[in-house]
Amino acid sequence: MTEILRRVDAAWLREAPLKDLLAVLDGGGEEARVVGGAVRNALLAEPIGEIDVATTALPTEVIRRAQEARAIVRDRDADAEAWIFISLGLLSTIDRRLNGLVGDEFDRIRDSRRAWMTGQG
């Protein structure tokens, strides 16, 4: 089997805020990569919708790095907030897959927590 490796070299990879996010997450022994539909669409030369990023960093490390970059208020407990976001994300995903039994409630809670974390709430 022939293995093909193609690297996506797109301008949107070098623009803020994605460039800034990747700089925060990629380094110090951790890696961050753009994954999912954005990569597929880039390879197919189709429009990019949302951009998903995967990292080897644990959730608490992601929050700590965001705090150091001043993207999240520093006085928040990184461990607690990481698990709140993971829980809300999982519950929201499950809800969507069950055809929105709960409606937009998980999204409202997540958005409220995000605003609080960034000092905007």
pLDDT score for 2: 53
Least confident range from 19-33, 69-83, 96-110: namely 96-110
Where do the domains of the chain lie? Answer: 8-57, 58-121
Mean pLDDT, residues 40-61 taken together: 89
Does residue 1 carry a pLDDT above 50? Answer: no
pLDDT score for 6: 60
- Does this model's pTM top 0.85? My answer is no
Does residue 4 carry a pLDDT above 70? Answer: no
Label residue 74 exposed, middle or buried (CB < 10 Å: 0-12, 13-18, 19+): exposed
C-alpha triplet 117, 70, 19: angle, nearest 5°? 105
Q: What are the angstrom distances between the C-alpha of 27 and each of 21, 70, 75?
A: 11, 17, 23
Does residue 3 carry a pLDDT above 50? Answer: yes
pLDDT score for 29: 94
CA–CA gap between residue 51 and residue 4 (Å, rounded): 23
pLDDT score for 32: 92
Q: What are the angstrom distances between the C-alpha of 111 and each of 33, 72, 84?
A: 24, 14, 12
